[in-house]
Structures are given as C-alpha cells and as structure tokens.
Amino acid sequence: MGKRIVVIEDEPNIVEAIAFLLSREGWEVRTCGNGETALDTVRDLRPDAVLLDVMLPGRSGYEILKEMRADPDLAALPVLMLTARGQKKDRDLADSLGVTRFMTKPFANADLVAALAEITT
C-alpha cells in the first residue's frame, strides 16, 4: 500500500491535478479545502505527509503549520508548503514555523513528486 497524504488546498483545479499526479505515483490522496477543518482531517487520517497551501479560507496555512508543530502527535509530520506567495519573507516565516519543504506555484510535477519522496524517506 502507498503512502497517505492530505492535500490542504482550496483551488479545485489544483486539487484535481495534484490528486491525479500523486495517485498515479502510488499515493493515497485525501483532500481538505479549508483551513477550519484541516487539522481535524490530518488528525483523523494520520497521513505520511501534508501538502499545505498558505492562503486558505478560515485559517492560513501558517496558522495550521504552527498548530501542527505545537502538537506532539503531529510535530514530526513532514509538511510541504505550496504557495503562490514565494517571497523571501514568506519562506522565512514558513521556515520559522517548522516547514519541512517550501515550493512555489506554479511547480513542475516532477519537482513536487521528488520533494515528497525526499521528505517522506
């Protein structure tokens, strides 16, 4: 059985593309489209990794990441933050909150797959 990932992203087209790509690579993909229920989804599904958007309805990806890192059960979970906001201050904030990897949109499919493989081995 493949690894499980929760994709926390609110753009349906991006969710569909990522889910298709990762399913093809053997991942079991679950999705969450808002910041309000993201942590509950992660806690319920116990994935091997989380792909986390920054700009979400309800709560930002930064807030979600901060809470994940404060939770002993989720603190070590690999998180790949994927965002259209790729300025240095955004990267620095993500790093300070404990992100495992940071990628900007648009991204190359091969880069996304490689980054997830790297952070989950």
Span 77-99, mean pLDDT?
93
Give bridge partners of residue 81 from the DSSP assignment: 52, 102
Residue whose tokens read 């690999």:
78
1 pLDDT exceeds 70? no
Residue whose tokens read 């926390």:
8
Span 93-112, mean pLDDT?
95
Please check whether the domain covering 4-119 is classified as CATH 3.40.50.2300: yes
Q: For the range 99-102, what are the long-range contacts, defined as Cβ-Cβ under 8 Å and sequence gap of 24 or more?
A: 99/65
79 pLDDT exceeds 60? yes
b/e for 6-18, b at 16 or more Cβ within 10 A?
bbbbbeeebbeeb
- Distance, in Å, from the CA atom of 84 to the CA atom of 53, rounded to the nearest integer, reads 9
Give bridge partners of residue 104 from the DSSP assignment: 83
pLDDT tens digits along 42-72: 999 999 999 999 999 999 999 999 999 999 9
- Distance, in Å, from the CA atom of 50 to the CA atom of 45, rounded to the nearest integer, reads 11
- Mean pLDDT, all residues of the chain: 95
Domain spans of the chain, in order of start = 4-119
pTM assigned to the model: 0.95
pLDDT tens digits along 13-49: 999 999 999 999 999 999 999 999 999 999 999 999 9
5 pLDDT exceeds 60? yes
